[in-house]
Structures are given as structure tokens and as C-alpha cells.
Amino acid sequence: MRYSVNVTSEGPYVLRWRAAGLYPGLRWHLEVDGHDATGPLGLPATGGWQRWQDVRRPDVWLPTGRHVLRLVADAVGPSGTSGALNYLQLDAQPLQARVVEPFNALDPSVWTATTSGVTANGRLRMSGLDVAPRHARRTGIDLTGGVLTLRAMVPAGTRAQLLMRPDDQVAYAVSVHGGSLLVTTERQGVVEPLTLPVPYVPADMARWRLRHDTPAGLLLFETAPASGGAWTARAAVPAPPTLSSVAIELGAAVGGNTAPDAVVEFDDLRVEAPARTCTLAVPATVSVAADARTAELAVSTDPGCAWAVHDTPSWFSPRLRAGGIHVGVGPASVAFDVDENPTAEFRIGTVRIGP
């Protein structure tokens, strides 16, 4: 069955149809211009060809313009029949408010993260899914000049999303909806596609990547096969002014005809940033009064740059030792204990501070 439609507003739609089926296990799917847009649609076994039942499927993404819709039978009954259709209808789907679960409320055995928030490795397993999306969130991630990669396991009939929010005004998302891969942007609650949806092929698109190309000033969205191989660019946008503290959300849901025991998994989540180029400076000389028992030395460096006190004279000892070495991160002042000078002569020593 083919239908010609003219879509005036691109976005998600709710597919509604009235169908009847004599046998259990009948399945259809809806194609848009030859691409599967819904995944399997279970046809109700109503017990008769004239015993109709209404069914709905949300999140069918339709681009603006003229398109050909085709309803395709995937599984038929013993007599070769695929069911009966009374009508088919598409309604614009209102955008739903995002429900966010705090990151620290998740079981750490399935997703663990370093306390710094710069890198995270582990697995997030989302089960007990419903049509309303479930989300997990982590904030304070530095993506400046870096990349975020993960592996997504998205069974047929489920939905999954990786969303990156650099601030409260804009968000970027890579999503799997109805058998298609989408890249969208959201500004003040308005969602717009960055590219046309493409058929989602799990084996070829299991790895997702957000990459900040600093020289080009771009934020790129890419996919790659589960087994490795080259990355394929799906969309590129001008990079936001800052990516030093972004929020990452991972979400999952099911379609209206998917079994409630469906599971979506995100695995091997990594955030990698380029190595910092740190500059460090300390005063060339520090004078200590003859009767002084303490001294301070200012360390000037970039925020986030680590340093340590490596060498000092025996009578000039840094406080707060860690593993025998005084360490610090970023600009700071180092306190030293000064032993009493048993002679009347000047003492001169060298202090070495570095990475």
C-alpha cells in the first residue's frame, strides 16, 4: 500500500491506524521514500477481518516536502494474508518535556566514572523502558578540543539518544528513532534536524562520536562500525563559544508495540581531551629572615596543570607532603618549614618545582 504525502513541518509524528488480523504474530513496517521509518509494527490479532482495533506508533520522523509512504508486510498468517487496514493517519507529535534522572542515582556497578568528570568508562544498561524516555545525566565534562565516544546497543523497536548540552539555550543530539539515525539541535525548546534521517544499521553505526575540531571551529557528529574502522561524518555545526563544562544525557525508550523487557545499553563511554600545554613560573629568588621559621613560594601556572616540588635543601622542607613529594594543581602558594641556622653565615639553596 502506497501513499503520497506533503509534509509542511518537519519533525516527529504519531502514526495511527485501524487494523484487524485473524492470526497472531502479524507484523508490518512503514517506509518513507524506501527507508524503514518505524521498525516492526505488531498487528493485533482481533479474531476477525471486520473486528477493528486502533493502534498508534509515536516518533515517526518526517522531513519537509513530498514523500511516498509504503506500508510493508513483514510477517503473514498461514493463509498468506497480512491483515486488514481500515485507515492510516499521521498527526504532528507535540514535543515532550525531558525527564532527567540524576547521574549519581544510577547503580555504579553498571556505569562508573572518574571523580574528575573528564573521563568515564563503563556501561549504562537501561531496562524497564516505556514510551516516555528515561535519561541519565552527567555534568561538568570538558570537551574543549576533545572527543566523546561510546558504543550503543539499540534493539529494534527501541529509541536511544546521546544529547550534549553546552549551556541552557542549546543542545545537540544523535538519536535512533523508528529505525532511522537522526542528528538534531534544540534551541529554547524548538527541535530542528541538522540532516535528513538515514536508515539505522546497527552493525555499521554502533559507535557514536562527538568531536570538537578546534582548528576548523566545528562540532562534528560521527558514527563507525561496532568492529572498528573509519568514522563517517553525519553532521557538522559551528562549535559553541565554550565546551569546557557540558552536560551529557543518555536516553532510551520503546515504541508502542515493543515488549516491556527491551533493553538499551550504552557501553565504553570515553571522553578524551588533548594533552595540556602548561606554563609554570616561580620567583627567581626568595629571601628568608634570619629568625624566620617559615617561608612561602608562589607557583604561577594554568588552571588544571599539575606540578610538584622535586628538590629542596635539607633545611628547607615543603609542608603537606603526598607520597614524599609536595604536589599541586593550578596556581598556588607553597609553604616551607625553615630549620634554624646554627651558624652566622648565609645559607643558599636551590628549590626545583616542575611537572
- How confident is the model at residue 83, as a pLDDT? 74
Per-residue pLDDT for 96 more than 80? no
Average pLDDT on 156-172 reads 86
Per-residue pLDDT for 95 more than 50? no
Secondary element (H or E) of residue 97: none
Average pLDDT on 117-141 reads 60
- CATH classification of 103-272 is 2.60.120.200, yes or no? yes
Listing DSSP states for 203-265 in one string gives: HHH-EEEEEEETTTTEEEEEEE-TT----EEEEEEEPPS--SSEEEEEEEEE-TTS-TT--EE
192 Cα distance to chain centroid: 18
Q: In this structure, which topology does domain 280-354 adopt according to CATH?
A: Immunoglobulin-like (2.60.40)
Residues of the chain with CATH 2.60.120.200: 103-272
- How many C-beta neighbours within 10 Å does residue 127 have? 13
Residues of the chain with CATH 2.60.120.260: 2-92
32 or 96, greater pLDDT? 32
Per-residue pLDDT for 108 more than 60? no
Cα distance between residue 17 and residue 88, in whole Å: 4
Q: pLDDT tens across 196-249, in order? A: 889 999 889 999 999 888 778 889 999 999 877 788 989 999 998 888 778 888
Residue with grid cell 611537572, as numbered in its chain: 355
Going by pLDDT thresholds of 50, 70 and 90, the confidence category of residue 106 is very low
Average of per-residue pLDDT values in the chain: 75
Residue with grid cell 486488514, as numbered in its chain: 84
- How confident is the model at residue 221, as a pLDDT? 92
Cα distance between residue 180 and residue 128, in whole Å: 22
Name the pTM for this structure.
0.49
- How confident is the model at residue 103, as a pLDDT? 32
Cα distance between residue 338 and residue 295, in whole Å: 7
Cα distance between residue 206 and residue 272, in whole Å: 19
Exposure class string for 278-303: b at 16+ Cβ within 10 A, else e:
eeeebeeeeeeeeeeeebebebebee
Average pLDDT on 30-35 reads 81
Average pLDDT on 157-175 reads 87
Q: Which CATH class is domain 2-92?
A: mainly beta
- DSSP letter (8 states) at residue 353: E
Q: Which of 17, 166, 145 is nearest to 86 (CA)?
A: 17
Q: Which of 6, 72, 30 is nearest to 177 (CA)?
A: 30
Residues of the chain with CATH 2.60.40.10: 280-354
Q: What share of the chain has pLDDT > 70, as a percent? A: 77
Burial of 196 (0-12, 13-18, 19+ CB in 10 A): middle
Question: φ and ψ at 294, to 5 degrees?
Answer: -140, 160
Q: pLDDT tens across 310-348, in order? A: 778 888 888 755 444 577 777 888 888 888 888 878 888
Contact between residue 180 and residue 35 where contact means Cβ atoms under 8 Å apart: yes
**Highest-scoring range by mean pLDDT, 56-65, 191-200, 303-312, 342-351:** 191-200
Per-residue pLDDT for 81 more than 80? no
Strand pairing report for 218-224 and 65-75: unpaired
150 Cα distance to chain centroid: 8
Strand pairing report for 264-272 and 120-126: antiparallel
